[in-house]
Amino acid sequence: MNVRRSDWAEDVWVVEARGRLDAGLAPELEAQLNALLAAGHAHIIVDFGRVSYISSSGLKVLLVALRAARKQGGDVRLCAMNDRVREVFVLSGFHKIFAIHASEREAAAAFLGGEVG
């Protein structure tokens, strides 16, 4: 996984998740999200562009991070999901909890309350 500042908003951080977010990789995602939150970075986008699958372990990590980010006045937004991963979010009801965007740019704009350059 790669962590970087968003190209579209200076105070927004992007975690580029990859592969299967299951019990094997969920701890890596958790560590990345916890490191950002511990550093005071509470505006986070998780890019699902390279994620092929997510299990309940991955969903739990995201939910815990979302709660922590909101306590800090931030949010965790998701982007670039394929249909298979989106279906898991719909079936689990997580699509009602998380803001899911088509792209990183759209997610960053939502943090800023409008358009980004």
What 3-state class would DSSP assign to 13?
strand
User: Per-residue pLDDT tens for 64-94?
Assistant: 999 999 999 999 999 999 999 999 999 999 9
Where residue 10 falls among pLDDT bands split at 50, 70, 90? confident
Question: Of 33, 97, 100, nearest to 68 (Cα)?
Answer: 33
Q: What's the topology of domain 2-109?
A: Transcription Regulator spoIIAA (3.30.750)
CA distance 112 to 109: 5
pLDDT of 26 = 96
Q: Which token pair is 38?
A: 């511990």
Q: Output the pTM of the full model.
A: 0.94
Q: What is the pLDDT of residues 19-59, one digit of tens each?
A: 999 999 999 999 999 999 999 999 999 999 999 999 999 99
